[in-house]
Amino acid sequence: MKKLVLSFLLLPLLQAGTAFGQNNVHGKSTAPKASAISGTVSQDGKRLIGKNGEPWLVENSGALAGHEGQQVKVKCQLSSGSHDIHVLSVKTVATQTKYAVNLGDAAFRR
């Protein structure tokens, strides 16, 4: 008889515990997906100017330290509704060096 009474008392507690673990029913992640943005780091290192001229405010500006004025490709998470980004990784993009040819230089004289 005691076991029957105890099982009726414990049953609501067990059901509450299983319902608590099911708050994410469909298994969808609530974290924003990572995006890639290419652009130039501002001189103060707090903004990333995209290739289309669109400025992005960097939440963790320490991640861009040492890349001021360089062309970079950033993997980041975008904030919803604003132009803020959280940088996950930074890769420098090699810029092409443009050479000018002067036919009057000594290298072209014969």
The residue ranges of every structural domain in the chain are: 34-92
Between the alpha carbon of residue 1 and those of residues 9, 17, 53, 62, 76, the distances in Å are: 13, 25, 77, 66, 61
Q: Which residue has the higher pLDDT, 55 or 23?
A: 55
Asked whether the beta carbons of 38 and 67 are under 8 A apart, the reply is no
Q: Which CATH architecture has domain 34-92?
A: Beta Barrel (2.40)
Q: Give pLDDT, residue 42.
A: 93
pLDDT at residue 15, as a whole number = 72
* Per-residue pLDDT at 49 exceeds 80: yes
pLDDT for residue 12? 72
Distance CA 93, CA 72 (A): 5
Mean pLDDT of 7-20: 65
Using one digit for the tens of pLDDT, what is the confidence trace for 53-103?
A: 899 999 998 999 999 999 999 999 998 778 899 999 999 988 777 788 787
Q: What is the pLDDT of residue 61?
A: 87
- Provide the mean pLDDT of the chain: 81
CA distance 79 to 55: 14
pTM above 0.75, yes or no: no
Residue 39: φ, ψ to 5°? 175, -165
